Amino acid sequence: MLILVRHGQTGANARGLLCGRADLPLTDLGRHQARELAAALPRPSRVVSSPLRRARETAAALAPDAVEVDERWIEMDYGDLDGAVPADVDAGTWRRWRTDPDFVPAGGESLAAVGVRVREACHELADDAARGDVVVVSHVSPIKAAVAWALGVDDTTAWRMFLADAGVCRIDTGGPVPRLLTFSVAG
């Protein structure tokens, strides 16, 4: 099973900010969420994490000595919009971002680029996940891209999903095609 875990809460998440590549720590609630995830999830054969602190802290609660860091699971680069309040982003930018997967916010990364790197990572983990539980601790955009991979849908489908802090998604990779079993379930 490929188990995708969104990191626990950060201060920026609590304030509803766009939180891309900022390397933020977990809040007290986020650390509590990580401990609850560790207690609720099965002992995985592998734990893979984004390099960002909030993901590594969450992953460390699951496997203190055996976390593999994979850059492909890093959050989308929001560029100049990192740290912005979503309501402050102009309507034209949102419209373009939501309809054009190749749109790149100033200094950032496109949704399509996130999809390419995450699909590659999913393909590489699929065989191991078919034989045992592989947990990936990541962020909203990469997890949504992995779900889009599992469903065989376009990258822009990500805009129709909501993934909670410490939300868990499960993808069965044991069959001829990946199957999404759960989405954004509490640990």
**Residue 187 pLDDT:** 66
Place of tokens 């999903």: 161
13 three-class SS: helix
The answer to whether residue 124 is catalytic is: no
What's the mean per-residue pLDDT of the chain? 96
For the full predicted model, state whether its pTM sits above 0.85. yes
Among the options 57, 75, 109, 139, which is catalytic? Answer: 75
Q: What is the mean pLDDT of residues 110-118?
A: 98
Q: What is the pLDDT of residues 19-72, one digit of tens each?
A: 999 999 999 999 999 999 999 998 999 999 999 999 999 999 999 889 999 999
Among the options 7, 57, 109, 139, which is catalytic? Answer: 7
The answer to whether residue 123 is catalytic is: no
The CATH code of the domain at 2-186 is 3.40.50.1240
Structure tokens at 89: 């982003």
| Bridge partners for 172 per DSSP | 179
**Residue 186 pLDDT:** 86
- E strand residue ranges, the chain: 2-6, 46-49, 67-69, 134-138, 167-172, 179-186
Q: What is the mean pLDDT of residues 93-107?
A: 94
Is residue 158 over pLDDT 70?
yes
